[in-house]
Structure 1
């Protein structure tokens, strides 16, 4: 009798190669979808529109994702991660191509169509599909660390965008076409990385299917099919996490969407300081997010960290709500600096905490649906709230931006209530979120083979 030790690729260093490819995809995708944030002034000048229209542009991007991520999650659970990822990448290419054509013919309505199509592809592929793939390869191992690293590279993409896109715009003679073409080239490159991801995952599944026998196969066969009825089985804690995710992401991204113009109009800062302050939260996230993810894997205590993140964003809103006299250029830099540091610390703590909570709260075969529901709620907020902010900023004045901060402070209050409720719900329902990441045993199968002796 001879025994052969089998180890899945999920338990080897190959999972880190897949994470690297996933991070490349995240950075490139984020670079492209952030252009309304970092080119707000350029878009206004090029298309002769206002900041209100920039907020509507982001609302249009988020609009299809109120519903699509939920159904995208079901699609993932039905047809598989790989097929879904390639389908959504096709939407990215078509959407960015529409943005390029919009810039060529100078038609703002076509830019709206492009953003809508980018929303169809980016949110599901960036969050739902990639989140499900990351969970598949890292669940029971270094899942919070893995989420922290990939979220860091989303921020890397944002920093590249704020530094590269305005420079490309100027270097090519105030050409918005050049910026959109650069984004299209980036989309094509990350699509290639996505194809490599799917090949690695496919080969890994084929290897595993040839070796996983008996008990493992029986468990897969006994999993019930995914349906909309799964929503009734998600517990109260899951929906609290969804509300917290919606509020946290809305606060951060709506503030960043309007940050450059706010620093210019309300705080009277020069372009250098505007760009520096805009990049600062992302830089903080790059440094802290993987570290926090690793710490959470080791110690757990997720509800405590969520409450702390809510406290930090509330402090940030309080700093921004101070009504200062900024008539002298750059005099109010320190107030904006403190606000952005707190904002960066909040998001570095919040982002690697919230996503790994989802697979903890749902069953294995409904993880795609779980990610989809959370993304749907998140994009509900990112559709409705920017429209409200757009109404607040019909007149771009210092007072208008102060009222925007008051509105974001109200969202922060909802987030804090949700985070506190998450703590109490988890405390009386098994303390799953308080526990460190469970180290699952290596999935090894002993293949017994008879020695043939003649």
Structure 2
């Protein structure tokens, strides 16, 4: 085989135009918006990629946005309410891992994204119908089906990101994707109550609740499904134009997981221990701010959504900062430390929670922008779907258990013990981050290089 062709096969799917030796496409494909070698085309694809999981994140926190109404209309205890999050997370303890493997080995990222987005849509419909007929068990089933697709869809999105943006832009891309996911959560927090009030005028109680979840939530899922089909088309088109081929060494086996490095498992511990202090807290946040700080429901909604609002704006900014300066592990340690301080302030003082929640949004953006791209530095590209699947599977095991335990703690002991519980998890995350730094330093410090040092080594 010709040496040039062998080199072409080993290149990423998308590279800057000046680094590609293949002939330029002709016709419409030659213009910048249509040419997959051009930066403008990649950024257009990034826009579609960001909306891929919009519906999933919008609907994930539907219960949090309607906590007061849902517990009243369906007569739920806090532990029963939190079980809606538990049922979302349980399938991902296993299926998220296999979803990543299926993306790498069986389905491919294009078909995988379509299938998982379809599960999200169907799950939201079942969840909505359960609310419409006051069938809590059917709502649990809907969240289970929704969960089958939700986290695996995030794995597909991460795989798309690395496939199109491997290199110096990756931190920014992860930050922007996180920003759009948080926009989905923020929009959910701020409009679901409005639509609930509209639908319950003629359909009071659980019927109005079900219609709100079905029409508003279902529409957002359909938008994401359309993006999955669009990405499949453009990715296939780019592959044909760039004439990429997979080599025989890109075969994935489940047994590869046991060979993942220690740094990968430390990242996973950080991911689990940190995220269980954010999402379950926001899910319970409305009543926390109403009970402890005597906030009115509208004010509680506002402060509870601040983390998502701040991270929507800050995530791409911090992604660019991490791209520019490097030192990912330092950023991770800063993010964990700031979040620890925020929970301590809200748990042990009566200071206005707007400040603490704002800093938590900044810290969350910092950690996510710095943590997730590190996986691509320690895991080969053809195993990334499996790696992200493993990471999110273990994360969802933590979320499933912690969400339910958090509900039980609130029912029996109150919010002070809940905050102490979250502080313990953040300390675990901080210890894991310090260990990640030490283990990486012993191996040459690759994960904590500055941007200039990383570019020089590449």
| Aligned residue number for residue 179 of structure 2 | 152
* Correspondence for 1:246 among 272, 284, 307: 272
| Aligned residue number for residue 26 of structure 1 | 53
**Structure 1 residue 272 displacement after superposition:** 2.7
Tell me the distance in 2 between the aligned counterparts of 1:350 and 1:119: 24
Alignment CA distance shift 1:348-1:205 (3 Å): same
CA RMSD between the two structures: 2.0
* Correspondence for 1:52 among 79, 90, 98: 79
Q: Which has the higher contact order (CA 8 A, sep 6+)?
A: 1
Structure 2 residues without counterparts, runs of 5 or longer: 1-20, 26-34
Tell me the distance in 1 between the aligned counterparts of 2:419 and 2:261: 33
Deviations 1:298-336 (A, max 9, x none): 2110111111111101101210221x5xxxxxxx4x431
* Correspondence for 2:118 among 60, 65, 90: 90
* Correspondence for 1:137 among 142, 157, 164: 164
| Aligned residue number for residue 355 of structure 1 | 372
Is this contact kept in 2: 1:320–1:402, CA < 8 A? no
Alignment CA distance shift 1:256-1:10 (3 Å): farther
Tell me the distance in 2 between the aligned counterparts of 1:22 and 1:266: 40
Does residue 183 of the first structure (1) align with residue 180 of the second (2)? Answer: no
Is this contact kept in 2: 1:75–1:84, CA < 8 A? yes
| Aligned residue number for residue 440 of structure 2 | 426
1:392-403 map, 5 Å: 392-395=409-412, 400-403=414-417
Task: Give the TM-score normalised by the residue count of structure 2.
Answer: 0.87
Tell me the distance in 1 between the aligned counterparts of 2:117 and 2:359: 34
1:349-428 map, 5 Å: 349-395=366-412, 400-428=414-442
Deviations 1:273-303 (A, max 9, x none): 2122112112221222111101111211011
Is this contact kept in 1: 2:273–2:426, CA < 8 A? yes
Deviations 1:93-115 (A, max 9, x none): 21111122112211111100000
Task: Give the TM-score normalised by the residue count of structure 1.
Answer: 0.88
Is this contact kept in 2: 1:140–1:440, CA < 8 A? no
**Structure 1 residue 394 displacement after superposition:** 2.0
1:63-78 map, 5 Å: 63-78=90-105
* Correspondence for 1:114 among 132, 142, 146: 142
| Aligned residue number for residue 452 of structure 1 | none
4+ runs deviating over 3 angstroms: 3-8, 436-442
**Structure 1 residue 5 displacement after superposition:** 4.2
1:6-17 map, 5 Å: 6=24, 9=36, 11-17=38-44
Alignment CA distance shift 1:102-1:149 (3 Å): same
